Chains A and B, each alone.
Chain A
Amino acid sequence: MNDGSDRPVGRRKFLKTAGQGAAAVATAGVAGGGMHAAATKPSTGTREKNKVQYGMLIDLRRCIGCQACTVACKAEADVPMGVARSWVEYVEKGLYPNAGRTFLPRLCNHCSEPHCVRVCPTGATYERPQDGLIVIDQGVCIGCLYCAHACPYDMRFLNPVTRFADKCDMCIHRVSKGLVPSCVNTCQGRARIFGDVNDPNSEIHKLIAKNPVSVIRETYGTQPNVYYIGLDTTDENTKKPGQYVRVTTNKAKSPKRT
């Protein structure tokens, strides 16, 4: 996402934008960032248009950072202590009185060009042809964690119980029966929309078409299928001089965002 396109938004502009209603506030972020990315649709590249591709849209304007999704995921997938498949990061930015906090729910992006699949030496990680979800065949995986290094989103981990690679599987056991993933089911703010992004009649397709959306780390070319409305791309490492930014990942193990 750091293609040099996020320009600093001055305080004046920020205040002006803030006056234009809740939607604009969230889109501009607390102090800018991601404006350009939000204005253009993420590139679709080699994506096939005529197949089912499940994805998620997270409307950050509606997320309240309650972590209910994190807990639901933990319970649903029986994720062991110390690791997480899904979490919500807190991004605090700016100085009083222009300080604010935004939330960034994270999950596997079920990328259309997934690096994790490319590097897997056994073929254990693969894309399901029927719905485009990226899953791990636990009967084949050797737990080498090559995929975990390759994922630019740090979504994969070694499951301490099974000793195989693990990550969000978009609740395939639920979605294949027509239900929505557990995090979507539980979301308090109805910030998470799940569906087939290629189906023109689906809610997610319509919302993506209607709203400025962006994806995380688009420059890695992974073509994520998790979209965000109002994504703020500022990071502790890429903040403007003098800007205050603190990111709390709330992720189980790695204290740094990698």
Chain B
Amino acid sequence: MEQHLMWHWPVIGYLFLAGVGAGAIAVSGIVVLWGPAGEFRHRAALVARLGAYIGPLPALVGSALLIFELGRPYRALNLLTSNFWFMVLNPSPMNWGSWFILLFGVFTTVYALSFLPWRTLLGGEWGERLAARGERVRSPMAVVCVPLAIAMAIYTAILLAAIPARPLWHTPVLWLLFTVSAISTGLSAIILVQRFMFRKPGAVRGAVRREDPAFRVTEYYLVSMKVLLIIAELVVIGLFFMFAHMTINSANFAVQVLLPGGELATTFWVGVILVGLLMPAFIEGFYLLRTAVLGHEFEWPYVINVSAPIAILFGGLMLRYVIVVGGQITGPVGI
């Protein structure tokens, strides 16, 4: 690529990681608020706990990436302090976004802390007290964190979509695309981590053994949800192309970089569509249908078990890559 890219891997990584974190928190919070009761309660609690642990990390790592890429990290504070110096309500999406990240970071960290096994970590009276408090604040925190997570996921798209001068980004479909991708990558991260944990049954406190029927059933539901999200994402990608195609001039020109013959076509069709969406959808769909239609046990080889979520995470990263890079190597046509 000859063009000089103003936003590169740090921004791409940030958008991806913020999406994963937001997705994981959204899934976790939803499970806490509306999760199953009774027999599957302990399994759901594990999903919620993993989501809570995963959530704040990527978002904070992503923001750190950006801040250090600027070269003068302390200056990043201007993002927040400028609201007091110059304008209380700055219309810039990046300004809103930095407040979102701040709130997201603070609230999700508290939320994650509320899940820590304080009794084992600290023990004694304090451990008891913190654990009890954690259990109490979980649901109220989830009420705050789920909207914040969804706001974060949408913000990563609005940051790009707000710019008319970048026709590939300036589409009303982008927020939907990034939000769906965020939730599906967040969910994949949860599934991936719990699969690593189940390698050694009982390694984590509260973990359930592989043979437990609760494990299979939850797994079945999580994977079904993931396949549905993939289908939704494919539909949104269809809408994305349709919008660009129906728009006269710039957007129409810009989307050519993703179509066959375009500079990013291979990355997009192989990385995003094939590896990131179609392959996991087909493989997981096969095992799901085997259970749903033929009534087999929901069981699959460990390799697929682990590689499907990795493929989805990779696809999510590639999606951010083609959009961020594609937007910069195209521009307004005409003068």
B291 at the interface (CB under 8 A from A): no
Could you say which of B78, B86, B90, B162 contacts A142, with CB atoms under 8 Å apart? B78
Is the pair A149, B332 in contact by a Cβ cutoff of 8 Å?
no
Stretch at the interface among B67-75, B109-117, B184-192: B67-75
| B interface majority secondary structure | loop
Q: Is the CB of A124 within 8 A of B78?
A: yes
Provide the residues of chain B in CB contact with A115, threshold 8 Å: 163-165
Q: Which residues between 138 and 165 of chain A lie within 8 Å of chain B, taking CB atoms? A: 140-146, 148-152, 154, 157-158, 163
Give the A-B pair count, Cβ closer than 8 A: 121
- CB nearest to A140 among chain B residues: B78
Set of chain A residues within 8 Å of B331, measured between Cβ atoms: 154, 256-258
- B70/A144 in contact, CB under 8 A: yes
B303 within 8 Å of A by Cβ?
A: no
Determine the residue in chain A with the shortest Cβ distance to B74. Answer: A142
Given the known inter-chain contacts A122-B79, A140-B78, A255-B2, please indicate yes or no for A237 contacting B92, CB distance below 8 A: no
Contact of A149 among B90, B166, B334 (CB under 8 A): B166
Query: Which of B72, B98, B163, B328 gathers the greatest number of chain A CB atoms within 10 Å?
Result: B163
A241 to chain B, nearest CB (A): 15
| Contact present for B335 and A257 (CB under 8 Å) | yes
A235 within 8 A of B: yes
The answer to whether A258 touches B332 (Cβ under 8 A) is yes
Q: Are B162 and A119 in contact (CB under 8 A)?
A: yes
Residue interface bits B320-333, CB-to-A below 8 A is 1, else 0: 00000001111111
A143 near B71: Cβ-Cβ < 8 Å: yes
CB distance from A143 to the nearest CB of B (A): 5
A253 within 8 A of B: yes
Size range of the chain B interface in the assembly: 35 or more
- Pick out which of these stretches binds chain A: B3-11, B210-218, B238-246: B3-11
Tell yes or no: B122 within 8 A of A by CB. no
Within 8 A of B (CB), among A217-258: 217, 220, 231, 233-235, 237-238, 253-258
Q: Point out the residues of chain A lying under 8 angstroms from B91, CB to CB.
A: 118
Q: Once the chains are docked, how many angstroms separate the CA of A79 from the CA of B115?
A: 54
- Looking at the complex, which one of A118, A143, A151, A217 makes contact with B72 (CB distance below 8 Å)? A143
Interface of A is mostly: loop
Distance A4 CA – B90 CA, assembled complex (angstroms): 35
- Choose one: B71, B76, B90; the contact of A123 (CB below 8 Å): B90
- Please tell me if A121 contacts chain B, counting CB pairs below 8 Å: yes
- Of B70, B330, B335, the most chain A CB neighbours within 10 A belong to B335
Contact B82 A123 (CB under 8 A): yes
**What chain B residues lie within 8 Å of A56 (beta carbons)?**
none
Contact B94 A150 (CB under 8 A): no
User: Is there contact, CB below 8 Å, between A120 and B334?
Assistant: no
In-complex Cβ contact of B332 among A141, A217, A234, A254 (8 A): A217
Is there an interface contact between B332 and A220, defined as CB atoms closer than 8 Å? yes
Give the distance to chain A from B94, nearest Cβ to Cβ, in Å.
Answer: 4
Given that A121-B94, A255-B2 are known contacts, is A233 also in contact with B335, CB under 8 Å in the complex? yes
CA distance A122 to B79 in the complex (A): 5
Collect the chain B residues with CB atoms within 8 Å of residue A217's CB: 332, 334-335
Whether A2 is near chain B, meaning CB under 8 Å from some CB there, is yes
Interface residues of A (CB under 8 A from B): 1-2, 4, 104, 115, 118-124, 126, 140-146, 148-152, 154, 157-158, 163, 216-217, 220, 231, 233-235, 237-238, 253-258
